[in-house]
A and B are shown apart, each in its own frame.
Chain A
Amino acid sequence: MADWIDACAADDIDEEDVIRFDHGGRTFAIYRSPEDAYYCTDGLCTHEQVHLADGLVMDHVIECPKHNGQFDYRTGEAKRAPVCVNLATYPVRVEGGRVMVQV
């Protein structure tokens, strides 16, 4: 079982936005949805190696900054070409104003 890692303060992420989180030589993206829920996925797009944290969150979709591929960040599902491969997702919980991710 992977450890729970303290990633950031809940307030570090704006509503309907994403930030990058690097840990253990890997990179992740942590999202805050419009209804204030938090999610975590791999940080790099599955099309090419581009950081999703530079992209745009719209509702429950993250759009990649390079070719506008889209994923549902809650499930990792690839939603729009040129992305075809789903994104890995990781459990998240918020405790005492901190965002914890299990990666």
Chain B
Amino acid sequence: MIEVKNFTKIYHLSKKQMKEQKLKASQKVAVDHINFIAKEGQIFGLLGPNGAGKTTTLRSIATLLNPTKGEIIVQGFDVTKNPTEVRRRIGFLTNELKLDTHFTPAYTMSFFGKLHSMSAKDIDSRTEELFEYFGIKDFANKKISDLSTGMMQKLSIAVSLIHDPEVVIFDEPTNGLDIITARAVTDYLQKLKERGKLIIVSTHIMTVAEKLCDKVAIIIGGKKVADGTILEVLNQTNATNLEDAFFELYKENVGEGV
């Protein structure tokens, strides 16, 4: 279970960042007191437009950033007080995390497996399973730099999942993937859910969320504006699909200027 309580993240901006983002203030409230709970056997979706605070939230859950206020508990461990225990239990996937392209997929899997204290036997069987599923087998001993982009993305997913984590966090799972790879990824997330894992994804594409997620939280400008099952959100907004529901919420909270 992931419990996010009153989570707030404030970035302190450098002079250069203030100029780049055309901001006068030296602080940016990226996430503003949000609460939600995500449970095992569910795919939880964090939805919102660009800049809403999705990546910030997921990075904080993954212990890469510290909450400014509030707390985040993952499988009973606080992300600031016990980050190592949290890291043992999560797999964090995003486009910004990369692999050293100088090594082979097989070596990379075994390196990260060892860092997760896995035995050689476990690493082998897990690698076999993931490479089989994502079709990396034939490329296992090629240099990563020789793989296609899609193959590289599938490999980084496999690497993040080497230790078979209880919690899978995926920032924009289908971003930048071709239609076939994207399908393989969403199918795999469904599979993980069936195995009782907790999956939390972020996306700004409502149609993806509608198909994939059991529960969602919609955030706009760092504030949570709605949450619940897809049906609950549709009922709240009297909409027939999630995209309409989102624009309804957007109008309510930001104004008409869409």
A-B complex is real: no
Residues on B lying within 8 angstroms of A by beta carbon are none
